[in-house]
Every structure is written in structure tokens, then in C-alpha cells.
Amino acid sequence: MSAPPFTLLYQPEAEKILIDLRSKQQFATKFRKVRKALRLLEQAGPRHPGPHSHDYRSIPGPGGVTLWESYVENKTPSAWRIWWFYGPQDGEITIVTIGPHP
């Protein structure tokens, strides 16, 4: 694990969600919030207090890696989150998916 800035990599599911959010006007506000949270992860890193990043213990990440959760929203019904893991290389964060908290 290295210090910020990080390179963000996106798994296909996360890419699809970003494309869907960007392409529909009704999701413009949600898309701005997601972009802000991703920018914080990339530039300030997960230790920044804004996204409240913490390990997500309910589900293991791909290949058994630790899956992390960062807030897009808080104190909102069905608040959105970003699920991610460190790697595969040092200085990289892989975004697994983005969506409402289960």
C-alpha cells in the first residue's frame, strides 16, 4: 500500500455503472457525488476522512483480498457506496462496484 495519489482501475461492473450515471440526466447529481468520492480516493487517498473508508467484512474481495467500502453519501436513504480493493500493483486501487448500500 502506497501513499496518494493512487491510480484508479475499474472492473467492468463499475465502468458500466459510471457510464449509466453519466448518460442519464436524472442521475446528474448522483454522478457528481460519485466523481467527487472517486477524486478523493485518487488524490487524497482512502485515509482522508471524507469518504469514511473502512474494510467491508461482509464479503471478501476477489481472490480473498480485503474489500473496502467508501461513502458517496451518508445519512440518506439507500446511500451510495464505492467498493474497492488495493492493487493489483502498489499505488493502485481497483474499483469493484458502485451503488446503494445493501
CATH number of the domain residue 56 falls in: 3.30.2310.20
Residue 58 pLDDT: 85
Q: Examine residue 91 and state whether it is found in any structural domain, yes or no.
A: yes
Alpha-carbon distance of 72 to 86, in angstroms, equals 18
Residue 60 pLDDT: 82
Residue 18 pLDDT: 97
Q: Report yes or no on whether pTM surpasses 0.85.
A: yes
The pLDDT of residue 30 is above 70: yes
Q: Which amino acid belongs to residue 33?
A: K
Angle at 68 between CA 41 and CA 23, to 5 degrees: 60
Q: What is the pLDDT of residues 32-75, one digit of tens each?
A: 999 999 999 999 998 888 889 999 988 888 888 999 999 999 88
When pLDDT is cut at 50, 70 and 90, the band that residue 77 belongs to is confident
C-alpha distances in Å from residue 14, one per residue of 20, 35, 75:
10, 12, 23
State which residues form the domain around 41: 7-100
